[in-house]
Chain A
Amino acid sequence: MLALVLALALGVTLGLLTNVSVPVGWLTYLGVAVLAAIDACLGGVKASLEETFDDKVFVSGFLTNTLMAAFIVYVGDQIGVRELYLAAVVAFGMRVFENLGTVRRLLFRRWGWE
């Protein structure tokens, strides 16, 4: 668990140090992609707590979810339904909260607080 927190902190530090900035045109795409990535990571944590974690599933899910999320927003832009990104945001947002709830409950069980 500590290693995961450290990895997140390292990513943030790396981002701050390299001083990257997303081009304005890519903002919506990357925003939704980041949401999908957060969802995938929470799913991974949940699976590991349930002891059903499979790294192949995690990596493929991480990649396809982020890419597809960005792609859906792109398609929405192309066909004139710019609000399509809302669908992705709602779907991933709900999944993030669901996963968060499950992870919380699993952690409580593991730590014997339940």
Chain B
Amino acid sequence: MGLHDRLPSKDTLVHLRDESTKRLNAQGNLVGRSFNEARLVASLAVGLLLVGFLLVAQMRGHATFTGSLERQSDQNLAIIIQQLTAENNVLRSEIVRLQMRLLEASQATEDRTQVLNEAARELNSVSVIAGLERAAGPGVSVSIADPERVLLPQDFVRVVHELRSGGAEAVSVNGVRVTATSGFASRNGRIELDGTMLAPGYTVIAIGEPVSLAQSLELPGGLKTTLATFPGVVVEVATDDELTVPAGTTAGFTFGTPVEDE
């Protein structure tokens, strides 16, 4: 048969089989080698990745360390300590100095406020006494009826004087403040206080301790009794908790000058 003729000889077949086996083995080796190659590259790559990462971390850590004190030599550290100690001392003495100044300043301020407060208080009382300011407070209201106009200026002077003896701090007559320079006068049979005509039906208001003010007028044999002996004169004294005395006009010095005594 032609088929038989075409079959290769046994040697050829063996040769072909061996060839195939060799190629298969070679391929297997190739697969194994490339597999090994992949593992090699992978493990080395991981190792190098770690190395790169650690290197950067180390460099950064070292950069922060370089500026730190731990890197300085002992001599340098001693010098740094010395410098810092000296600086500390300077700063400490400055603190003390500034604290002293602060203390002085606050003391001065305190003194000044005290002086100012005292001055203000004094000014207040002086202006009340001098009649520069309106005054309000408890006191007495004295109404004097004199329908026949028998009272003389000196009677009013006495009334004011008695009230002042009783501790009056501010006195007004018919709404006119009696000040240190006030004077009662008589003109055409009428009573004048500092140029203001006083209409009969007088009202004298005094600020001060009400009871002692009232007593100063109502003493037995006192001014009230004396005035009551005049014809038609009626004196009535009433205490009150809230009275007001207007401010007066005080002329400044024209002829005299204040002299300061030691």
Q: Check if A14 is an interface residue, CB within 8 A of chain B.
A: yes
Please give me the residue from chain A that is nearest to B39 by CB atom: A55
Q: Check if B229 is an interface residue, CB within 8 A of chain A.
A: no
Partner of B61, one of A8, A27, A37: A27
Residues of chain B lying within 8 A (CB to CB) of residue A38: 51
Q: Provide the B51-74 mask, 1 if CB < 8 A to any CB of A, else 0.
A: 111111110111011001010000
B43 adjacent to A33 (CB under 8 Å): no
Provide the main secondary structure of the chain A interface.
Answer: helix
Given known pairs A8-B49, A31-B58, the reply for A21 and B43 (CB within 8 Å) is no
Number of A-B residue pairs, CB cutoff 8 Å, is 111
Q: Check if B90 is an interface residue, CB within 8 A of chain A.
A: no
Please give me the residue from chain A that is nearest to B68 by CB atom: A24
A12 adjacent to B43 (CB under 8 Å): no
Q: Check if A75 is an interface residue, CB within 8 A of chain B.
A: no
CB distance from B34 to the nearest CB of A (A): 13
CB distance from B202 to the nearest CB of A (A): 99
A7 adjacent to B57 (CB under 8 Å): no
Q: Provide the B15-49 mask, 1 if CB < 8 A to any CB of A, else 0.
A: 00000000000000000000010011111111111
A15 adjacent to B56 (CB under 8 Å): yes
Q: Check if B50 is an interface residue, CB within 8 A of chain A.
A: yes
CB distance from B24 to the nearest CB of A (A): 23
Please give me the residue from chain A that is nearest to B60 by CB atom: A21
A24 adjacent to B49 (CB under 8 Å): no
Cα(A22)–Cα(B65), bound, Å: 10
Q: Check if A11 is an interface residue, CB within 8 A of chain B.
A: yes
Q: Which of A11, A30, A53, A62 has the most CB of B within 10 A?
A: A11
What are the 5 closest A-B residue pairs judged by CB atoms, nearest first? A11-B52, A15-B56, A22-B61, A7-B45, A11-B49
Task: Name 18 interchain pairs, CB-CB below 8 A, sorted by A.
Answer: A4-B45, A6-B45, A8-B52, A10-B52, A11-B48, A11-B55, A12-B53, A12-B55, A20-B60, A21-B64, A30-B61, A31-B58, A31-B62, A34-B58, A37-B54, A45-B44, A53-B36, A55-B39
- B contact residues vs A (CB 8 Å cutoff): 36, 39-58, 60-62, 64-65, 68, 70
